[in-house]
Protein backbone atom coordinates (compact mmCIF):
# COMPACT_ATOMS: atom_id res chain seq x y z
CA UNK A 1 0.00 0.00 0.00
CA UNK A 2 1.28 3.46 -0.97
CA UNK A 3 4.09 2.29 -3.22
CA UNK A 4 5.73 5.31 -4.83
CA UNK A 5 7.51 6.06 -8.07
CA UNK A 6 10.99 7.57 -8.15
CA UNK A 7 10.79 11.32 -7.61
CA UNK A 8 12.62 13.39 -10.25
CA UNK A 9 14.54 16.60 -9.54
CA UNK A 10 14.77 19.60 -11.86
CA UNK A 11 17.37 22.33 -11.39
CA UNK A 12 16.66 25.80 -12.73
CA UNK A 13 18.76 28.94 -12.65
CA UNK A 14 16.80 32.04 -11.68
CA UNK A 15 20.09 33.89 -11.16
CA UNK A 16 23.75 33.05 -11.71
CA UNK A 17 24.70 32.51 -8.06
CA UNK A 18 21.61 30.83 -6.55
CA UNK A 19 20.86 27.17 -7.27
CA UNK A 20 17.17 26.21 -7.24
CA UNK A 21 16.28 22.52 -7.42
CA UNK A 22 12.66 21.43 -7.56
CA UNK A 23 11.74 18.07 -6.06
CA UNK A 24 8.78 16.89 -8.11
CA UNK A 25 6.77 14.96 -5.55
CA UNK A 26 3.77 15.96 -7.65
CA UNK A 27 4.88 13.05 -9.86
CA UNK A 28 5.08 10.43 -7.08
CA UNK A 29 1.69 8.94 -7.99
CA UNK A 30 -0.66 9.64 -10.92
CA UNK A 31 -3.65 10.46 -8.69
CA UNK A 32 -2.55 10.53 -5.02
CA UNK A 33 0.12 13.06 -5.81
CA UNK A 34 2.42 15.37 -3.94
CA UNK A 35 2.16 15.96 -0.22
CA UNK A 36 -1.23 14.19 -0.10
CA UNK A 37 0.53 10.87 -0.74
CA UNK A 38 2.66 11.36 2.37
CA UNK A 39 -0.13 12.80 4.51
CA UNK A 40 -2.50 9.93 3.83
CA UNK A 41 0.01 7.07 4.00
CA UNK A 42 0.13 6.41 7.75
CA UNK A 43 -3.50 7.41 8.25
CA UNK A 44 -4.46 4.59 5.89
CA UNK A 45 -2.17 2.15 7.69
CA UNK A 46 -3.79 3.13 11.00
CA UNK A 47 -7.33 2.84 9.65
CA UNK A 48 -6.48 -0.60 8.31
CA UNK A 49 -4.85 -1.67 11.61
CA UNK A 50 -7.91 -0.59 13.59
CA UNK A 51 -10.29 -2.39 11.25
CA UNK A 52 -12.16 0.60 9.84
CA UNK A 53 -13.98 0.19 6.55
CA UNK A 54 -14.78 3.85 5.89
CA UNK A 55 -12.72 7.04 5.76
CA UNK A 56 -14.31 10.41 6.44
CA UNK A 57 -12.77 13.82 5.93
CA UNK A 58 -13.52 17.46 5.19
CA UNK A 59 -12.92 19.91 2.37
CA UNK A 60 -14.16 22.69 0.15
CA UNK A 61 -15.57 22.33 -3.33
CA UNK A 62 -12.12 22.33 -4.94
CA UNK A 63 -10.26 20.41 -2.25
CA UNK A 64 -7.14 18.59 -3.43
CA UNK A 65 -7.34 16.58 -0.23
CA UNK A 66 -10.85 15.31 -1.00
CA UNK A 67 -9.74 14.42 -4.54
CA UNK A 68 -6.71 12.46 -3.31
CA UNK A 69 -8.66 10.77 -0.51
CA UNK A 70 -11.31 9.51 -2.93
CA UNK A 71 -8.66 7.99 -5.20
CA UNK A 72 -6.72 6.44 -2.32
CA UNK A 73 -9.86 4.98 -0.74
CA UNK A 74 -10.92 3.44 -4.04
CA UNK A 75 -7.41 2.08 -4.69
CA UNK A 76 -6.99 0.49 -1.27
CA UNK A 77 -10.46 -0.85 -0.66
CA UNK A 78 -12.08 1.70 1.68
CA UNK A 79 -15.40 3.46 1.42
CA UNK A 80 -15.08 7.25 1.63
CA UNK A 81 -17.22 10.13 2.85
CA UNK A 82 -16.54 13.80 2.15
CA UNK A 83 -18.01 16.50 4.39
CA UNK A 84 -18.12 19.38 1.90
CA UNK A 85 -18.36 23.05 2.90
CA UNK A 86 -21.41 24.81 1.40
CA UNK A 87 -24.88 23.26 1.51
CA UNK A 88 -25.88 25.33 -1.52
CA UNK A 89 -23.66 23.06 -3.63
CA UNK A 90 -26.04 20.14 -3.12
CA UNK A 91 -28.45 21.58 -5.70
CA UNK A 92 -25.82 22.51 -8.27
CA UNK A 93 -23.97 20.54 -10.92
CA UNK A 94 -20.80 19.10 -9.42
CA UNK A 95 -17.49 20.62 -10.44
CA UNK A 96 -14.90 18.23 -11.99
CA UNK A 97 -13.15 17.49 -8.65
CA UNK A 98 -16.34 16.59 -6.78
CA UNK A 99 -17.71 14.77 -9.81
CA UNK A 100 -14.60 12.60 -9.96
CA UNK A 101 -14.70 11.98 -6.20
CA UNK A 102 -18.31 10.86 -6.44
CA UNK A 103 -17.49 8.68 -9.46
CA UNK A 104 -14.84 6.95 -7.34
CA UNK A 105 -17.48 6.09 -4.77
CA UNK A 106 -17.13 8.94 -2.30
CA UNK A 107 -20.37 9.84 -0.52
CA UNK A 108 -20.63 13.63 -0.59
CA UNK A 109 -22.34 15.23 2.38
CA UNK A 110 -22.84 18.99 1.97
CA UNK A 111 -23.11 21.10 5.13
CA UNK A 112 -23.62 24.76 5.91
CA UNK A 113 -20.59 26.93 6.56
CA UNK A 114 -21.71 27.29 10.17
CA UNK A 115 -21.74 23.53 10.63
CA UNK A 116 -18.44 23.17 8.78
CA UNK A 117 -16.74 25.44 11.32
CA UNK A 118 -17.42 22.77 13.95
CA UNK A 119 -15.12 20.28 12.19
CA UNK A 120 -12.51 20.43 14.98
CA UNK A 121 -15.00 20.12 17.85
CA UNK A 122 -15.09 16.81 19.72
CA UNK A 123 -18.87 16.83 20.08
CA UNK A 124 -19.38 17.37 16.34
CA UNK A 125 -16.92 14.60 15.48
CA UNK A 126 -18.81 12.31 17.87
CA UNK A 127 -22.04 13.21 16.05
CA UNK A 128 -20.44 12.31 12.70
CA UNK A 129 -19.24 8.99 14.11
CA UNK A 130 -22.86 8.22 15.01
CA UNK A 131 -24.16 9.41 11.63
CA UNK A 132 -21.47 7.53 9.68
CA UNK A 133 -20.56 4.50 11.86
CA UNK A 134 -17.25 2.65 11.49
CA UNK A 135 -15.59 5.72 9.95
CA UNK A 136 -11.98 6.68 10.53
CA UNK A 137 -11.94 10.48 10.62
CA UNK A 138 -9.08 12.37 8.95
CA UNK A 139 -8.91 16.14 9.60
CA UNK A 140 -9.34 18.78 6.91
CA UNK A 141 -6.25 18.88 4.72
CA UNK A 142 -5.16 15.55 6.19
CA UNK A 143 -3.00 17.16 8.88
CA UNK A 144 -2.54 15.21 12.10
CA UNK A 145 0.34 13.44 13.86
CA UNK A 146 0.35 10.60 11.33
CA UNK A 147 0.39 13.06 8.42
CA UNK A 148 3.38 14.86 9.89
CA UNK A 149 5.11 11.49 10.30
CA UNK A 150 4.50 10.75 6.63
CA UNK A 151 5.73 14.16 5.48
CA UNK A 152 9.04 13.58 7.25
CA UNK A 153 9.70 11.01 4.50
CA UNK A 154 9.61 13.67 1.78
CA UNK A 155 13.28 14.44 2.49
CA UNK A 156 15.98 11.81 1.96
CA UNK A 157 19.63 11.76 3.00
CA UNK A 158 20.71 13.54 -0.18
CA UNK A 159 18.27 16.37 0.50
CA UNK A 160 19.59 16.75 4.03
CA UNK A 161 23.22 16.94 2.91
CA UNK A 162 23.08 18.99 -0.27
CA UNK A 163 20.74 21.93 0.39
CA UNK A 164 20.78 24.99 2.65
CA UNK A 165 17.17 26.13 2.37
CA UNK A 166 14.05 24.01 1.82
CA UNK A 167 10.94 25.80 0.56
CA UNK A 168 7.35 24.59 0.50
CA UNK A 169 3.83 25.91 0.19
CA UNK A 170 1.80 25.95 3.41
CA UNK A 171 -1.91 25.34 3.91
CA UNK A 172 -2.73 23.55 7.18
CA UNK A 173 0.88 23.17 8.32
CA UNK A 174 1.31 19.40 8.17
CA UNK A 175 3.77 19.26 5.29
CA UNK A 176 6.10 21.94 6.60
CA UNK A 177 6.02 20.39 10.08
CA UNK A 178 7.23 17.09 8.65
CA UNK A 179 9.97 18.86 6.70
CA UNK A 180 11.09 20.76 9.81
CA UNK A 181 11.25 17.57 11.87
CA UNK A 182 13.29 15.79 9.20
CA UNK A 183 15.64 18.69 8.43
CA UNK A 184 19.28 18.80 9.47
CA UNK A 185 20.58 21.35 11.95
CA UNK A 186 22.15 23.68 9.39
CA UNK A 187 19.07 23.89 7.16
CA UNK A 188 16.39 26.58 7.11
CA UNK A 189 12.79 25.68 6.22
CA UNK A 190 10.88 28.46 4.52
CA UNK A 191 7.11 28.17 4.13
CA UNK A 192 4.99 30.24 1.75
CA UNK A 193 1.50 30.52 3.18
CA UNK A 194 -1.59 30.32 0.99
CA UNK A 195 -3.45 32.26 3.68
CA UNK A 196 -3.03 35.70 5.22
CA UNK A 197 -1.94 35.95 8.85
CA UNK A 198 0.46 34.34 11.29
CA UNK A 199 -1.99 31.93 12.96
CA UNK A 200 -0.21 28.97 11.36
CA UNK A 201 2.80 29.56 13.62
CA UNK A 202 0.80 28.31 16.58
CA UNK A 203 -0.41 25.23 14.70
CA UNK A 204 3.06 24.31 13.47
CA UNK A 205 4.51 24.57 16.96
CA UNK A 206 2.14 21.77 17.96
CA UNK A 207 3.93 19.44 15.57
CA UNK A 208 7.58 20.41 15.96
CA UNK A 209 10.01 21.54 18.64
CA UNK A 210 12.57 22.97 16.21
CA UNK A 211 13.01 26.67 15.43
CA UNK A 212 14.81 26.55 12.06
CA UNK A 213 11.78 27.74 10.11
CA UNK A 214 9.71 30.76 9.18
CA UNK A 215 6.46 31.46 7.35
CA UNK A 216 6.02 34.17 4.73
CA UNK A 217 2.50 35.33 3.82
CA UNK A 218 3.53 38.23 1.57
CA UNK A 219 2.76 36.29 -1.61
CA UNK A 220 -0.71 34.92 -0.77
CA UNK A 221 -2.27 37.57 -3.05
CA UNK A 222 -4.69 38.65 -0.35
CA UNK A 223 -5.84 35.28 0.92
CA UNK A 224 -6.68 31.66 0.17
CA UNK A 225 -7.51 30.95 -3.49
CA UNK A 226 -7.19 34.64 -4.37
CA UNK A 227 -5.16 35.49 -7.45
CA UNK A 228 -3.71 38.45 -9.28
CA UNK A 229 -2.82 39.05 -12.90
CA UNK A 230 0.83 39.04 -11.84
CA UNK A 231 0.49 35.56 -10.32
CA UNK A 232 -1.35 34.10 -13.31
CA UNK A 233 1.22 35.55 -15.70
CA UNK A 234 4.06 34.18 -13.57
CA UNK A 235 2.55 30.67 -13.68
CA UNK A 236 2.12 30.88 -17.44
CA UNK A 237 5.68 32.12 -18.00
CA UNK A 238 7.17 29.56 -15.60
CA UNK A 239 5.48 26.70 -17.49
CA UNK A 240 6.75 28.11 -20.78
CA UNK A 241 10.31 28.63 -19.52
CA UNK A 242 10.83 25.43 -17.51
CA UNK A 243 8.03 23.01 -18.55
CA UNK A 244 6.95 22.78 -14.91
CA UNK A 245 3.23 23.28 -14.22
CA UNK A 246 2.15 25.27 -11.18
CA UNK A 247 -1.30 26.06 -9.78
CA UNK A 248 -2.50 29.39 -8.34
CA UNK A 249 -3.46 28.32 -4.80
CA UNK A 250 -0.19 26.91 -3.45
CA UNK A 251 2.79 26.20 -5.72
CA UNK A 252 2.36 29.24 -7.96
CA UNK A 253 2.44 31.64 -5.02
CA UNK A 254 5.43 29.81 -3.54
CA UNK A 255 7.51 29.97 -6.71
CA UNK A 256 6.60 33.59 -7.34
CA UNK A 257 7.72 34.34 -3.79
CA UNK A 258 11.02 32.50 -4.18
CA UNK A 259 11.73 34.28 -7.45
CA UNK A 260 11.00 37.67 -5.90
CA UNK A 261 13.13 36.98 -2.81
CA UNK A 262 16.05 35.97 -5.03
CA UNK A 263 15.72 39.25 -6.93
CA UNK A 264 15.74 41.10 -3.60
CA UNK A 265 18.98 39.31 -2.57
CA UNK A 266 17.17 37.70 0.36
CA UNK A 267 19.36 34.61 0.04
CA UNK A 268 23.17 34.82 0.39
CA UNK A 269 25.21 34.05 -2.74
CA UNK A 270 25.66 30.33 -3.50
CA UNK A 271 22.65 29.34 -1.42
CA UNK A 272 21.39 25.90 -2.46
CA UNK A 273 17.58 25.93 -2.44
CA UNK A 274 15.40 22.83 -2.58
CA UNK A 275 11.77 23.52 -3.54
CA UNK A 276 9.12 20.91 -2.74
CA UNK A 277 6.56 20.79 -5.56
CA UNK A 278 3.61 19.53 -3.54
CA UNK A 279 1.21 18.94 -6.44
CA UNK A 280 -2.38 20.13 -6.28
CA UNK A 281 -2.58 20.46 -10.05
CA UNK A 282 -6.03 18.83 -10.15
CA UNK A 283 -7.26 22.05 -8.56
CA UNK A 284 -5.66 24.21 -11.24
| Residues assigned a catalytic role | 63
274 strand-pairing partners = 21, 166
Q: Which residues contact 181 (CB under 8 A, 6 or more apart)?
A: 148, 152, 207, 208, 210
Collapsing DSSP to helix, strand or coil, 274 comes out as strand
What is the spatial distance between Cα 282 and Cα 96, in angstroms, rounded to a whole number? 9
Q: Which residues contact 220 (CB under 8 A, 6 or more apart)?
A: 192, 193, 194, 195, 196, 226, 253
Burial grade of 133 (CB within 10 A; 0-12, 13-18, 19 or more) = exposed
Strands in 188-193's sheet, in edge-to-edge order, are 9-15, 18-23, 272-276, 165-170, 188-193, 213-216
Q: Minimal CA–CA distance to 170: which of 249, 258, 247?
A: 249
Amino acid sequence: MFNSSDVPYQTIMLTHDISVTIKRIDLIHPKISGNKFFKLKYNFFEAQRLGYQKLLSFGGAYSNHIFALAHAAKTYGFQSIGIIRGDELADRALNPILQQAQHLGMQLHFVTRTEYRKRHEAEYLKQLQHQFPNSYIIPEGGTNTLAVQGCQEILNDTDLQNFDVICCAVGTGGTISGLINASSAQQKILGFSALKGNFLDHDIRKWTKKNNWSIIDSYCCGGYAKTTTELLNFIKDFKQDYSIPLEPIYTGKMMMGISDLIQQNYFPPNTRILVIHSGGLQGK
